Structure 1
Amino acid sequence: MPDLDDVRRAAARLPGSEERATTGGAAWFVRGKLYAWECHPWPSIPDDLREIIAAELVVGVKVADPVDALALREMAPDVFLGPTTRWGEPKIAFRMAHIDADHLAELVTEAWRVQAPKYLRREFFGDDA
């Protein structure tokens, strides 16, 4: 089962990525923009999701479009949670106990790509990604 160290490893290979400790846990930024974070059971989160987040490790990541989040939830509803809050959209939260390391790395990389400036995307991907 992946853990926050796996998120750290995936994030560490991305140009401009920076980990910060927040009141909710670990979070990863690129050029000051949040792209991945450890979820915390805030009172503003719906009760059913707050129970899951309080009981197990859940990570959130930015996605390019709300349709992407919906597709992930439909593809694997046991892994991807429903909307946690309205702010910070589009994003998706997922249960770390139910995701494999390769998919985790892909989600972190894609979240970084969504938030990274073009010059960093070009540095990492080698094109206009």
Structure 2
Amino acid sequence: MATLDDVRRLALALPRTDEKVSWGSAAWRVSSKGFVWERPLRRADEAALAEAGVPLPDGDVLGVRVADVGVKAALIADEPDVYFTTPHFDGYPAVLVRLERIGVDELRELVEEAWLQRAPKTVAAAWLAERHDEGPGTTREQARP
């Protein structure tokens, strides 16, 4: 089970990342571009999930930027107990994550891939090169940029 403290630690370990409060919740950015954020559910979200028969999360929810809506759909289809969305995010390349249902290793991969999507290409390339030099454990998106 992952926590917001895990998100904070993982996100802030990445180059050029900062944390700010947005709409009363924590958000992490790379070079002023958001890539992960705390996303408490609103009444409209809860109503939409209930109407769709999707169980409400038991704990904190994280919003995560993904490469495109196809990746979003695949994550939700593969692990609907972990990943979900609400009508607010229709057509937007972001997925919601039940932190109580995701392990820290999977969360790390998700945060790093989100960061890679938003980081400047030169910064992402330098980070990937450094990780490659360190050996195994690089992300799936290693081919980017």
TM-score range, shorter chain: 0.7 to 0.9
* 1:103-114 → structure 2 map (5 Å cutoff): 103-114=106-117
Q: In structure 1, which of residues 52, 58, 78 is the aligned counterpart of residue 56 of structure 2?
A: 52
8 Å CA contact 2:69, 2:91 repeated in 1 = no
Matched residue, 1:6: 6
Deviates more, 1:37-46 or 1:76-85: 37-46
**Distance in structure 1 (CA, Å) of the matches to 2:16 and 2:91:** 21
Structure 2 counterpart SS, 1:56: coil
**Distance in structure 1 (CA, Å) of the matches to 2:9 and 2:69:** 26
Distance change in 2, residues 1:87/1:24 (3 Å): farther
**Distance in structure 2 (CA, Å) of the matches to 1:87 and 1:30:** 24
Matched residue, 1:25: 25
TM-score, normalised with respect to structure 1: 0.87
Counterpart of 1:52, as a letter, is L
Matched residue, 2:137: none
8 Å CA contact 2:63, 2:95 repeated in 1 = yes
Structure 1 counterpart SS, 2:83: coil
**Structure showing greater Rg:** 2
8 Å CA contact 1:24, 1:39 repeated in 2 = no
Segments of 5+ residues of structure 2 without an aligned counterpart are: 130-142
Segments of 5+ residues of structure 1 without an aligned counterpart are: none
8 Å CA contact 1:45, 1:84 repeated in 2 = yes
TM-score, normalised with respect to structure 2: 0.78
